[in-house]
Structures are given as C-alpha cells and as structure tokens.
Structure 1
Amino acid sequence: MQLAFAEQAAEYVNALHIDDISSSAADQAEVCFKDWLGVAWAGSKTPTGQVVRNWLAAGDYHGCATVLGYPIQVNEMEAALANGVFGHVLDYDDIYPWGPGHPSSTVMPAVLALGEKLGISGKAALEAIIAGFQVQYAVGEAIMPEHYQTGWHNTATLGHIGAAAAAAKVMNLAKDEIRHAIGIAATSAGGLQSVFGSMAKSYNAGKAAMDGVLAAITASHGYDSSLHVFEGHGGFWRVFASKYDEKKAVQALEKGYVVERVRFKYYPSCYSTHGIIECMKGIREQTGPEFAPRDVKKITCYVHPRCIDIAAIPEPKTGLEGKFSVQFCGAYTLMKGDIILDDFSDESVGDPTCRYLMSITGLVVDPGFTEERKAAAVVEMKDATKFIKEINLVEMTQDVVKTNQNVETKFHDLMKDHTGTVALIKKGMRNIADIRSVTNSLRIRKQDAS
C-alpha cells in the first residue's frame, strides 16, 4: 500500500543529509541564500519595511531572532514574518520559472529565524533549504498550472509547506513530527493574486514563512495533523486546484534537486515583465543614442497570457504597482535604456514621457508563445521606422555562470553598507560553524535604527 504523500515528504526531509547532496545542488543553495539575503536587506529599507519596523516598535516583542535592519530581537515567528516580507517586497527574489514561484522568499526566513535560535551550522542550513524547496515544489507539481490560473498566489500557498519542511529540518524533528508540521502548514495555506501591486503581496510570503515556523514548533510539542492532508475530497490538492495528479508530486520528490533549476532576477519586478524589458533594451541598442521617446508612434508588446493576468496594470499609480505593469516596465526601459531598483518609485510611474509611452502601448497575446517567458516587441516611429526584438528569457537565464556572476554583483551592490556580512558569506555556507555569525553581522545598533 502506497504511503500518503505527507509521509513520503516527511521521509524525504528526515533522510536528507548534506553529505549525500550533489555539490552542484549545495552550491546553488548557497547562491540562493546569498541572493535572498541581499534582496531582503534592501527590502528592509523600503516604505513597506518601515511599516513593519513601526509595527514591531509599537509592540512588546522579545526573543532571540534577528529582524534585518532592526536593533532588537523578536521571537522566531515574528522574525520569519518580517524577513519574509523584506525578501519579497522588491520582487527581486529568485524564481522557479516552471512553477512559477519564489522559493527563497518563504524558506529562507524560516531557516534563518529558527537556525539563529538553535545555532545551526551553515551545512545544516543548506540541508533545510534544499529540503524545503523540494517538498514545496513536489506539492506544486500535482496542481500546477491550474492552481495558479485559479488565482492563488502559489509562492504563499506552496510556500507554507516549504517553510514548514525547512523549519522541521532545522529543528531535527522526528519523521512523524515532520509529517504533522507539513500537514499543519497545509491547512494554514492561503494567499491571493488579487493583492499583487500592494504591500499585501509580500505579506503573503512573510505569513507563509511565519506559519511554517509555527507549524514546526507546534508539531514538536505533539500537535498533530491528518495523514491524508493532501489527498481526498477535502485535501489540499482538490481544494486548491480544479484538477490534480498526485503521482507527479511523488515523482517530483526524487526527480532531482529543484534548487538547481532556480533562476535569479536581473530586474526588481514581476518576472512576467522581464521579457519585454529585455526586448526594449535590445531595441534601444538598435536605435542608438539619438533616440527621442516623443518620436515613437506606437508600441506593441507580444506576451504570454500569464503576463496579461498578473502583470498588466495599465496605469500604475505607485512604484509597487509599476512592478506589475509590463506597460510601465517596457515604456521606462525604452525611455532610459535600462530599468533599475530605484526606478520603481511613485515618481517614475508618474513621469510624463513615460506616461506617454504607456498610453501608446498595446499588449497582444501571442498564441505561438508556448513557453511563458517568451516575449517580443515592435516599436514604430512617427517616420514609419520599425524596431523589432524577440527574447526567450528562460534560455537567457540557463547560463548558470553568467547568472551567478550577476547574483554576486547584485549582492555586493545591495549589501554595500555591510562589508562584514559580504566577507562572511564569501567564505561559503559550508564553512560557517554557527549561522548566528551571519545574523550578528546584520543586527544594527539601536542608535543606527531609522
């Protein structure tokens, strides 16, 4: 008789050991941690980060877990929530394109919060990261893409389960306790796409990280969950998707390490906008330095249907909304030749020239784009000149050496005011005896708090 999926997932997490993990998977997990840490540190300085800090300052919080950019420590759940928000608010975190989803934004905060409390090693952290990623996307294999197409924010829904699996591994729970933690997280899951473009999107990630930590802690004290939490009429898969295939979830546990297929963002916006950003950069290379945005007559962007569903806010009013507007991302990149972190501001989305370019931008769903990350753009000038560019983003990001170099540059840029942390991470996670050396390097002094 086949074991319930929760049992199989628990067995996988329980058995995973750093010595049995391929060096390529461990290396990629290190890159994921580095990328997330830099992005979360930058995210802590955003207006959303300030709201979180204000909320913490208003309460009477105590504990042994660090909140990035905050001078005091809180309990593990609060730290996971705050750091989960920070790691996702910029939409600069890593991506699993075939999910889609952002695995690090829920798993890393859980590992860091509990790892700091327990003083785990860098190797133990890598084990937990890989375990969390694997279980998270094994569950997703059974219900994607229907789950996402229904309107669920799968970074949050699946992230609950990944965070719980990772947290259970950090705590070195017994196999039955791991199963219960995963089940508790599954029944806690939620998160809607309708909040994209607002602070609540990053809250989804933070809440998933927090609930994953809470699930592991409660399971460690004997709290249980049902055996068939995923299967059956009222199970996770049937509730969260119109159709599902549980066999795919079982197969995914042993199909190779998911962490090796994670990709990293070049731009701090929804991944569905990146293809058009690349197209516009390519077109600007064709136009040359004399390009005049007001001489553009018409812009046509050919995109996959998913871009229309989640990243096509026609007239964004805020920088956060701009991250989910392919019209803004394309127009601004065409206007400036590039788009960087500071460009996603309320001022930028209101720029008159950019608004003009957005107003003449049309979106077309191309039925020939079977791979969701393809995109194409045509820019027609008033003198009838046309510029055309097509891109396949997945192919572009398959150059592991190039993308990892990009992460290194990105990390140094985002962490430029924390050279001690940069030097520590450069030594490699497998050489870190206690993860608290990382969190200690990131905890700011009270007099430096803004």
Structure 2
Amino acid sequence: MSVISDQLSEWVAGLAFDDLPEATVTAARRVLLDASGVMIGASGLSADVRPFVDLATSDGPCAILGTGMKALPQMAAIANGAMAHALDFEDAFDRAPGHPNASLVPALLALAQSHGPLDGRRFLTALVAGCEVSCRLGLALRKPLEDGGWYPPPILAGLGAAAGAASLLGASSDQVRDSISLALCQVTMPGEIKHSAGTVIRAVREAFPAQAAVQSALLALAGVAGFEQPLEGQAGFFALYADGRFDRDDLVGGLGRRFWIDELTFKPWPSCRGTHPFIEMALALTGEHGFDASDVISVEAGIDEVQRMLVEPASRKAAPRTAIDAKFSIPFTVALALNRGRVGLDDFSSVSLADPVVLGLAARISARQDNSAGRLRGVGGSLHIALKDGRRMSASRDTALGSPENPLDESALVEKFSDCAARAAVPLDHDAAMDLAEQILALQTCPDVGALFT
C-alpha cells in the first residue's frame, strides 16, 4: 500500500486543467470572485487588518488588494490573508466546518504576481488542488481538533494552501509533499482565540497560514526537503492533532472522481456560518408574521454542540466588544436581523456594537441543545420566539441559504462582489467592479491572472 502523503502529493502534482469537470471549473472561478471581493472589502471596512497592511507594504510585485499598495510575495500573503477572514464573509465547507480557501487564495495571488505570468487554467487547477487537500483533511479526521485545544480552520486551510501553492509553481510530487511538510512546521492555531474576549486574532487569523503556504512552496522548490510522511507519520499531522485517528478513504479515496470544491457554501451574511440558520429563520419569521422587534419577549435558539461557542459565555455574546466576536454571536446576529431586518456589512460597526436596542434584544435571546437528526453539525438549528401579545412562533433549518442545497446564484455573487469592492480602502466603482467580476468568471481564458489584480 502506498504512503498516504505520497498518494495525495502525486495527485496534486499530476492534476491538470483538462481533468476538471466544467462544474468544478465554475466553482473555482466563483471561489476566486468571492474571496477576492471579500478581501477588497475588508481593506476599507476592517480596522483589524491595518497593522498587517502597514507591516507588509514595501516595494514588491504583489498587490495588497483594495489598497493600491504593493509588497513582496510573503508579505502580500500575510496582508491579504488578514483580509480574507476579517469580514467573516468568505466561502465555507459545511461538511467539515472550515474555510478551505481563506489561506489558499491570498497565497496563490501572491505567487501569481511574483512568479508570473501564470494563466487562468493553471491558477484554477491549483485552486482546486489546494481546496481539495484542505477539505479532505477535515473530512478524514476521526477526532475533532478542538478536543486537543486547537482551532481547526486555519490549520486545515494552511496545509491545503501549501499544496495549492506548490501546484501553482509546477512542483513535483516530492516537492508538494515537502511543501506540506514545511507548512506543518509553521501552521498552528490555539483554540484560545475562541475564549479571549478582547483579541482580534480570530478576524485576521488567515494571515499566518497564507504566509506560511507561500514560504513553504518557495522553499520546497528551492530544494528544502520535508518529511517522508508529513500526514500519517508517527509524529505527523494526524498523530499530533488527532491521536492518529483518521480515515484513509476520506483522505485519498476517489481522488479526481469527486471534487469537494463543488459543494462549498457562499455566504449571504457576513458572520460565522453557524449563525446563518438563525439569521435566516429570524428574517423569515418577521416577514411571515409581521411583528416588530419591540414586540419580542424572548427568543430561544436550538443549537448543537458546535454552535455552543456562538452562545457562550452568555453575557459576552449578548454584548460583544469586537466586530469579530459579534460575528460569532447568535444572540447579537439574531437581534440585528429582528431589529433591522438585515445583517449586512454595515451592521458590525462600533455604533452597532453599542446600539442599546440591539443589545437589549440580544440579552433576551437564550439557547438550548437541539440535536435533531439529519442536520450537518454547526449549520442547522431551530428558533422559537415569544411575543407580548401571546403569540408563539417557531422555525427550523437543516442548513441555511448559501449551501449547496440552497445556493446563491451567480448574479447574487457578482452583486456581493460589487458591494464589497465599493467599500475598499481605494473603492472600485460599479462599472469597474463588474468588469473585474466578468474577467474573473472567464478566468480560464486569462493569460495572466496576476495582472487582473494590479
């Protein structure tokens, strides 16, 4: 039986654009559209990213998106990586909760601009490869990384980004394995970012794995050897993070026959994916029953164990101190939906965080365990609202808008891109945003992907 790390690395190195089904190519183009738009928007909306932009800015070939500034590839990756999750608006993989492209896209863009020209076919192939590695690592786990005190999304995304970055540079299978090995030496994320009320690391976390992915791929191609078994070795990824508990078939079975990038979620609301079913239910119930937020006595959210981090500690989640903590709060996001009839990019400002009406309603929102069968962990739930006039109303969701089962269409993604681009540090007007979106959605014909973003 072949070594698992070799098997996965050989697949990454051998993947070609012509191996990709049309649906997979379409999904990859949409990933780039969505990810780049979110990063561009964060450049103007998130104060949390500014230290990373300031640190990165220098004479270099790579764009720091939305700013008009340039940087060297590793530093562009750290700046754009900081922006990739700052709005919590990027794509997600519901089956193994995470964000497989939040580190990957910043890393690929940095390399496309520093080692180009690289055409759209090559870029899309690398994007599919890196996303697949991240998704499969998450699916293969048989012990949650959280049990060991880790925070999974940046760890899984960083290893996938290292594989994708190596693919973009035309690495051999050994060099792909070396790139993953070198990323394993750099990528980590403690679960303490969930528990610390004042930190913004949770917002900018993808800065670190994006930078690590670029460095790992460049060092691997320069001849720095990694480990023979970075994933399954006696002290490799699965041993370190999951006590060696993983499923081989979920990791390497069916490679090239099924692409998980086809089953991503694109977010309609800029907050943690686990809040989305509750936002959707709150908006639906207000629309259906026509009540006002001032009519609400209490709200109870039916959550699963993954979503517990979105309601506890209750006092903090009812009155979050930072925008990113508000985005990881079911009480706050539901209160926004009930009070304002929306949850948008402008609803996590310092003014919103201090809004007494929203905070008063958030304080009346509680949670209980609801482990209804058939739901994916972290992306379903129930909502129960009690009104002053005695009415009681409830709703439930197995998943939320934006999922593969209930997707956003391409026009919605383009509008989201335009909305984000208009909020950049250096805004794009509507026509310029639409022109860039059109070029991204035809990326397989592009001779130089890096040039699109300069």
| Structures share fold, TM-score greater than 0.5 | yes
Could you say if the C-alpha distance between residues 15 and 426 of structure 1 is closer, same or farther in structure 2, counting changes exceeding 3 Å? same
| Inter-partner Cα distance in structure 1 for 2:60 and 2:234 | 40
Q: Could you say if the C-alpha distance between residues 293 and 394 of structure 1 is closer, same or farther in structure 2, counting changes exceeding 3 Å?
A: closer
Preserved contact between residue 59 and residue 71 of structure 2 (Cα < 8 Å): yes
Q: Which range is displaced more, 419-428 or 79-88?
A: 419-428
Q: Which residue of 2 aligns with 1:55?
A: 55
Mapping of residues 134-153 of structure 1, within 5 Å? 134-143=132-141, 146-153=144-151
- Kindly, what percent of the aligned residue pairs are identical? 24
Indicate the SS of the match to 1:104: coil
CA 422–148 in structure 1, closer or farther in 2 if over 3 Å, else same: farther
Q: Is the 8 A contact 1:6 1:182 kept in 2?
A: no
Residue 355 of structure 2 corresponds to which residue in structure 1? 351
Matched residue of 2:270: which SS?
coil
- 1:399 is displaced (CA, Å) by 4.9
148-157 vs 200-209, greater mean Cα deviation: 148-157
Q: Does 1:212 align with 2:213?
A: yes
Map residues 68-217 of structure 1 onto 2, 5 A cutoff.
68-117=65-114, 118-143=116-141, 146-196=144-194, 198-217=199-218
- How has the CA–CA distance of structure 1 residues 422 and 222 changed in structure 2, closer, same or farther, with 3 Å as cutoff? same
1:393 match: secondary structure = coil
**Which residue does 2:367 correspond to in 1?**
363
Question: What residue ranges of structure 2 are gaps of 5+ in the alignment?
Answer: none
- When normalised by structure 1's length, the TM-score is 0.91
C-alpha offsets along residues 333-379 of structure 1, whole Å, 9 cap, x if unaligned?
Answer: 11112211110122212211112211211101112255122211111
1:190, CA displacement in angstroms?
Answer: 0.5
Match of 1:445 in 2: none
- Distance in 2 between the 1:395 and 1:332 partners? 17
1: CA distance between counterparts of 2:221 and 2:325? 40
Equivalent position SS for 1:91: coil
Q: Which amino acid aligns with 2:183?
A: A
Q: Measure the CA separation in 2 of the matches of 1:200 and 1:21.
A: 36
After superposition, what is the alpha-carbon deviation per residue over 1:196-243, rounded to whole angstroms, capped at 9, x for unaligned?
A: 474212432111111011011111111011101222331110211143
Amino acid at match of 2:180: I
Question: Does the 8 A contact of 1:84 with 1:202 survive in 2?
Answer: no
CA contact (8 A) 1:65 1:116 kept: yes
Match of 1:448 in 2: none
Shift of 1:149: 4.8
Alignment of 1:14-413 (within 5 A): 14-45=13-44, 46-56=46-56, 61-117=58-114, 118-143=116-141, 146-196=144-194, 198-242=199-243, 243-251=245-253, 253-288=255-290, 291-310=291-310, 312=312, 313-371=317-375, 372=377, 373-394=379-400, 397-399=403-405, 402-413=408-419
After superposition, the CA RMSD in angstroms is 2.0
C-alpha offsets along residues 172-194 of structure 1, whole Å, 9 cap, x if unaligned? 12221121111111232201333
Structure 1, 246-255 or 233-242: larger mean CA deviation: 246-255
Counterpart contact for 1:77–1:213, Cα < 8 Å = yes
SS of residue paired to 1:103: coil
* Paired residue secondary structure (1:299): strand
Query: CA–CA distance in 2 between the matches of 1:24 and 1:369?
Result: 30
Q: Aligned equivalents of 2:319 and 2:143: distance in 1? A: 28
Amino acid at match of 1:34: L
Equivalent position amino acid for 1:411 in 2: F
TM (norm. structure 2) is: 0.90
CA distance in 1 between counterparts of 2:249 and 2:186 reads 23
Deviations 1:245-265 (A, max 9, x none): 334212163451111011100
Alpha-carbon offset, residue 73 of structure 1: 2.1
Q: How far off its partner does 1:161 sit? A: 1.2
Tell me, in whole angstroms, the C-alpha distance in 1 between the residues paired with 2:142 and 2:354: 36
Task: Tell me, in whole angstroms, the C-alpha distance in 2 between the residues paired with 1:258 and 1:131.
Answer: 10
Q: Which residue of 1 aligns with 2:453?
A: 439
Question: Which residue is 1:13 aligned to?
Answer: 12
Where does structure 1 lack aligned partners over 5 or more consecutive residues?
441-450
